[in-house]
Amino acid sequence: MKKWTALLLTALLMISLNACSSETEGSSEEKSAPSASQTLETEEPVSEPVETETPGSEAAVSEAPMEENPDTNLLVAYFSYAENAELPDGVDASSTASIQVWNDEITGNTGVVAAMIADATGADLFSIETVEKYPDTYDETVDQGQEERNVGARPELATHVENLDSYEVIFLGFPNWWGDMPMAVYSFLDEVDLSGKTIVPFVTSGGSGFSDTISTIESMESGASVQEGLSVSGSSAAGAQDQVTEWLDGLGYIAQE
């Protein structure tokens, strides 16, 4: 009897030990296995911040296309079709009389005369440019110019003179569009205060000259003195050097070497 009792106790003890061992292994496996939520958090990629540019940021600012001479108080500010139009790459300047190549750069008739004035006087050169470009054909551009004139538009400018106080004389150039200045020139004159300065106008045209633009300039910049201007035929702008020099010499603006 004692023998059977001992065997029974031994069997019960072995069963109890096996059960404890299985429970311990199961508990250990349960602690070491990651939960589903832990796995997702580990594998989820980290988002990188996105850099954006907003109007008014440094990247959105357009620098004024100026050629500066620190020793001058003269500025040539001009508006030229070719520098404000969406011209195709490799445009043929000989295909239209309104596009010129001067000093290896594409410009227009007014731009050529402006460069001649700057070269002869030592003046700084400033191109009046608009944010929105004009069409790539001159006729379409002039038609748009007429529409802007009819509604008194003021195109937003992309370029600005930041050191205007350092200039005493402003040569102001533009083409004659429909008997008037391009409206971008109005935008320029609205933006600047030329009181106490001298304005020397010049124009390129098909024969109309200044029309009534001199009186318009005098009205818009009543605090400035407006000197005798120069009218150049657009078709002869590239050969107008002698005409430009004679005019400047008569006004006393030829740079002394």
Give the tens place of pLDDT for each residue, 224-241.
Answer: 999 999 999 988 999 999
Q: What is the pLDDT of residue 69?
A: 59
Note whether residue 30 is domain-resident: no
Adjacent-strand bridge partners of 201: 172
Q: Identify the CATH number of the domain in which residue 108 sits.
A: 3.40.50.360
Note whether residue 203 is domain-resident: yes
Which residue bears the tokens 């589903």?
36
Note whether residue 12 is domain-resident: no
pLDDT in tens, 40-65: 232 333 333 333 333 333 333 344 45
Number of structural domains in the chain: 1
Which residue bears the tokens 């010499």?
249
Residues 6+ apart with CB under 8 A from 195: 221, 223, 224
Note whether residue 45 is domain-resident: no
Q: What is the pLDDT of residue 137?
A: 83
Note whether residue 10 is domain-resident: no
Note whether residue 121 is domain-resident: yes
Note whether residue 16 is domain-resident: no
Residues 6+ apart with CB under 8 A from 124: 66, 67, 68, 69, 72, 74, 75, 76, 118, 167
pLDDT in tens, 6-44: 444 554 545 444 444 444 444 433 333 333 333 323 233
Q: What 3-state DSSP class applies to 173?
A: strand
Q: For residues 213 and 204, give the distance between their C-alpha atoms in angstroms, rounded to a whole number.
A: 12
Note whether residue 6 is domain-resident: no
Residues 6+ apart with CB under 8 A from 183: 145, 148, 149, 152, 153, 154, 155
- Give the domain extent around 101: 61-251
Q: For residues 145 and 157, give the distance between their C-alpha atoms in angstroms, rounded to a whole number.
A: 15
Both tokens of 119, joined, read 């070269």
Summarize the confidence of residues 158-164 as an average pLDDT: 96
Q: Average the pLDDT over each of 6-20, 93-107, 184-198 and give the range with the smallest value.
A: 6-20
